[in-house]
Amino acid sequence: MPSDPYENHDAALPEPVREHLGKQLRTTYNAEAGKPDYLGDPVLPAEFTPQLRRLESRLKAHDTGREAVEDVVNNILRELPPRS
């Protein structure tokens, strides 16, 4: 329970305030962002690079594992006797 009875921690900001803050954040982010290397290149802060590399490696490992399991299942299904 909040120490101040008039303070509501669950209250959302009004829509105009959220829109204003969002606009300010986007403006600041775009002003500090670097120029893209090519058309369509998403410009992301350098701080995101390690997280993106980890995500890319996890996705690659997931795809490799899925393909390996798929190959094994297909091989097992091929070796089964046909249904009569």
Q: What pLDDT digit, counting tens, does each position of 29-71 carry?
A: 766 666 666 676 666 777 778 888 899 999 999 999 999 999 9
- Predicted confidence band of residue 14 (pLDDT cuts 50, 70, 90): confident
More confident residue, 84 or 7: 84
- Scanning the structure block, which residue is given the tokens 């606009």? 23
pLDDT given for residue 32 in this prediction:
64
For residues 10 and 20, the answer to whether their CB atoms sit within 8 Å is no
DSSP 8-state code for residue 39: T
CA dist 32 and 47 (Å) reads 13
pLDDT given for residue 1 in this prediction:
46
- Scanning the structure block, which residue is given the tokens 């303070």? 7
Tell me the HSE value of 33 on the side-chain side, using a 13 A CA sphere: 14
CA dist 23 and 20 (Å) reads 5
